[in-house]
Each structure stands twice: as C-alpha cells, then as structure tokens.
Amino acid sequence: MADNPSPPANPRGHLDDADFVIALPHDSLHNVELAPTPPRERKWGTFEIFNVWTNDVQSLAGYTLAASLFVTAGINGWMVFAAIILAGVLVMFFVNLSGKPSVKYGVPYPVVARASMGVRGAMFPATVRGIVAIFWYGAQTYFASTAVALALYAFIDTPPTATVLGMNWVDWLSYAVVAAFQILLFLRGLDGIVRFLNFAGPAVYVVMVLLLVAIWWQAGSDLLDGVGSLFGGDKTGGAAVNAFFAVVGTMVAYFAAVIINFGDFARFSRSEREMRRGNFLGLPVSLTFFTFLSLFITAGAYIVFQDGQGEPATNPAEIVGAVDNVLLTVIAAVTFFIATVGINLVANFIPPVYDIANLAPSKINFRIAGVITAVLGFVIGALWVVVIGNAGLPKFVDTLGAVLAPLYGIMIADYYIMRKQRLNIQDLYSRDPGGTYAFSNGWNTRALWAFAVAGLFSIATVWVPALADLSGFSWIIGAVLGAVLHLVVMRGQQIITSDADR
C-alpha cells in the first residue's frame, strides 16, 4: 500500500476536515485522543506554543537546573549563559523537525512513532516516553510543592523538624495540595489547562523581575562584578570548551521529553508557520531572558543573603524565603507554583496520558490514563528527596534524556530521510498485514534493535566513569547514534512512497 502525500487542499488552499477522518480504524489503534485533529479543531497560535515553552523554561526545576550549571560547570558564568542560549537554538531546530509531521497530519507522537516502529511496535517507544514523563511529573510535583511550603513557612515561627522520607508535615501537606490541585485542573480538560498556562507564563516573569530588582537594590554595584567572579570556574583551554558543550548537552537533555513528543502539542497548531514562530519566541528569546534573570538572581542572592559563603542557593523558593518579606514571599510562591503546575500538566502529564491510552485505546480512555499517571507520579515525587534527588538534578536530566534520545533520532531519520515526509494516514490506524506499517505482525524489530544499542551507549555515558567526559553529550550521542543505526538496519527494507508526491 502506498504512502499517502499530505492531505489534499481545496481550491481555496484550506484543508478539508474530511481528509482527517479514518475510514476503517482498528479498535486497538484508535480512540478520540489518538485520532487525527482536523483543521477546525486546531486553536493554537503563536502565543499558545510560545507559552508552552515559557512555562517549561521558567519552572522551578528549570531555574534550579540553570543555577546548578552556573555553580558546577567550572567555567565563567557568561560562558554558561551563552551555552544555555545555544541549547535553546538547538532545541528550537529539533522541535521544528518533530512537530512538522503532527502539524501536517494532525496526529500525536504515539501515532507518528508507528511509521518507524510499526503499528504495534510503537507501543514500546510510547511507553518509554510515558515512563520518563511520569518521572518528570513526579519531580516537578515535588518542586511545585516547595513553593507552597515556602508560603506556609512564612506564617510559621518554628518549622517542624520530624521528617518522613526527608519531608516534614508542612512539606507533605504542600505536596498533597499540589497533587490534588493538578488532578482538579486536569479534569477541566486541555482547554482549561491552556487558559491556566496563558496566565501563569507572564505572571512568573513579573515576579522574577521584581525579585531581581529587590536583590540588585541591596547588592548594588557588587552584582555586576560578582557575576563574572562568583562563577569564574577553574577550567581553561580544552577543558573549558568541553564544559561549555556539556552544558549545552545537559540543557538539550532537559527538554528531551518535550522534544520527542512535541507533536502532541503541534497537532493543535493552526499552521506550521505559527508553530515555528512560537518555538522561536519561546525558546531562544524566552530562554535568553530567563537565563539572564537566573544568573543575576543566583549571584545577587549569594552576595546579599549568604555573604559569598558556602554553596549558592539554586532553588528560587529558598532565595525568595531569604528576602524576609512576607508579601513578596507569598506572591512569589503562588506564581512559581502556578508556573510549575501548568507546565507539569502540559509537558509531563498530557504526553503519558496519550502514551498510556495508546496501549489499549478501546479500554483506556483519557481520564483513566490520567489517574494512572497521577498515582505513579505521586509515588515518584514522594521519593525525590531521599532517593532520586541524591543523584543530582543534572545527572537525573542527562539520564532521562539519554533514554529518549535514540527514539528521537529514529523518528526523524525515518520520517525525513526514509519516507521523504510522506505518511499514509489511514495505515497508521490499520492492522492489515499488507499495510504500510505492518512490518512483522505490527512490530519493526530492526528499529527496536537500533534503539537498544543506541540507548545502552547513551545511558552508559552518564553512569560509566570511563565515559564521564561524554556525560553532558548523552542526548546528542543517543539521537545521532539512533538515527544512524536505524538507517543501517533498515537497509534492504522496502519503503513504499507515493508516485503522486514525486
């Protein structure tokens, strides 16, 4: 069966909703969440795409990672700043690639993955992606809870000392409040979440600017000098260059979960042009501004509140708490909470819901998959302090990125190089043995082998001491290796394309 070119356009140049209707879908591959999104239901423009990235960038975990890299990279703070901006440009390029097929065909990532992995084999990468997202969901839930705890501590004279799994009763209460709030927000549906995000993004920037002004007022002229000296680092020459690109790699890995499944959001874009514009404003532009704020707030807080002693605070909730202004503390806590919850639902909740629903579409709907995600994420977040967080946020980020990277490389190589950007939208939902993506009983075992080899090596760069110099490059290595191996193992496999598109 031949691959179908992009859906035809009517004489006015608009896509017809009928082109996105699946004629004979198989129950195991289709439900309302996985079905193609027709043009009339696509409501996202530049601002909505921009705001997805704005909230992802400015979450508490995003700030903590950026601040941690300033502290631990061993190079000048300005070099770290430049490395993070470069990472934003690269991520923009990567998501433009992964989002394009979903804009064209209106399908989420688990469906796009069927082209490279097979209609049944795509359950594997979708499951891997879902597991990684659930880990991030739990971690971000914990980080959001620190903002709620910050607000509560502002009214408590003597904080409790007894802890369970590293958290006292205030921390646990805050964690439970965040978990419950996220579920209530989820029940409002995607449109409600998007409206929530549209408020959260600008609000957090307002608070961060006010926080910087308050800190700069106290630090005075020492702040500008401190940015270069406090994060001066001791690496020079080749070691400094290696550290620079390691920061780039780690920041790319931070966005890995969204890079691979960006199609889950792009499918709602009104056009590829609006998607690209939103990616540009939300990544290089927004990330530059946010990193500037992170750099100066971290340095200023180190000067003003720590007198340049010890390790600089990397969690903005801790910094806000040190300002000793109850009103600012409460306002900042609420806005950080809102931003982290918003992006957690969009980037780390919605994707695994799609992925879990993809396992059994006829039995698992959006709501059931959401409950499963929330429960698993709650357990993971509860273990963050005593178990997962001990590895350090950069290593946590690199590990999850290393797992997902080969899947991205395989998807991109398959769609752009092998299939020339053409998919058969009907066969993506068909179990016909003669279908384009049937492979061997619905599984492309060659692609799975490519993922296994690339994934093992990219994960090894994070955890094997002998490969420590490559740890910051785990995502790039995994993605390139996955793409190359996929092209190699697929040699000899017949790839049918449409004569109409040539």
The pLDDT value recorded for residue 390 is 65
- Residue 467 carries which side chain, given as an amino acid letter? L
Q: Is the per-residue pLDDT at 439 higher than 80? A: yes
Among the listed ranges 82-86, 202-206, 272-276, which one has the minimum average pLDDT value? 202-206
What residues are paired with 269 via a beta bridge? 44
- Across the chain, mean pLDDT equals 82
pLDDT band at 388, cuts 50/70/90?
Answer: low
Per CATH, which fold does 32-391 belong to? Hydantoin permease (1.10.4160)
Furthest-apart CA atoms within the chain: distance in Å: 74
Measure Cα distances from 367 to 187, 189, 350, 478 in Å: 8, 10, 11, 33
The DSSP result for 239-292, as a single string, is HHHHHHHHHHHHHHHHTHHHHHTTHHHHTTBS-HHHHHHHHHIIIIIHHHHHHH
d(CA 333, CA 150): 6
Percent of the chain topping pLDDT 90: 29
Across 347-369, average pLDDT: 79
- pLDDT for 495 equals 67
Query: Could you tell me if 414 and 118 are in contact, meaning their C-beta atoms sit under 8 angstroms apart?
Result: no
pLDDT band, very low/low/confident/very high, at 420 (cuts 50, 70, 90): very high
Task: Count Cβ atoms within 10 A of the Cβ of residue 338 and give its class: 0-12 exposed, 13-18 middle, 19 or more buried.
Answer: buried
- Distant-in-sequence, close-in-space partners of 483: CB < 8 Å, separation ≥ 6: 409, 410, 412, 413
CB atoms within 10 A of CB 66: 27
pLDDT value at residue 227: 66
Per DSSP, 468 falls in state: G
What does the alpha-carbon distance between residue 393 and residue 210 come to, in Å, rounded to a whole number? 27
Domain residue ranges in the chain: 32-391
User: What is the pLDDT, as a whole number, of residue 391?
Assistant: 61
Burial class of 360 by CB neighbour count within 10 A (0 to 12, 13 to 18, 19+): middle
pLDDT at 22 over 70: yes
pLDDT tens sequence across 369-384 = 888 888 888 888 887 7
Whether 502 has a pLDDT exceeding 60, the answer reads no
C-alpha angle 424-425-431 in degrees, rounded to nearest 5: 85
Q: Residue 82 above 50 pLDDT?
A: yes
Report the C-alpha gap between 403 and 342 in whole angstroms. 24
| DSSP 8-state class, residue 311 | S
Mean pLDDT of 217-227: 75
Exposed / middle / buried, residue 234 (Cβ in 10 Å: 0-12, 13-18, 19+): exposed
Q: Quick one: 421 exposed, middle or buried, by C-beta within 10 A (0-12, 13-18, 19+)?
A: middle
pLDDT score at 13: 39
Nearest-angstrom CA–CA distance, 29 and 281: 35
Most confident of 210-224, 378-392, 431-445: 431-445
pLDDT at 339 over 90: no
Of 103-117, 162-176, 275-289, 445-459, the least confident: 162-176
- In this predicted structure, the answer to whether residue 263 has a pLDDT above a threshold of 50 is yes
At 500, the pLDDT band (50, 70, 90 cuts) reads: very low
Mean pLDDT across the stretch 230-243? 79
pLDDT confidence of residue 10: 40
Q: Which residue has the higher pLDDT, 140 or 443?
A: 443
- Work out the average pLDDT over 452-476: 88
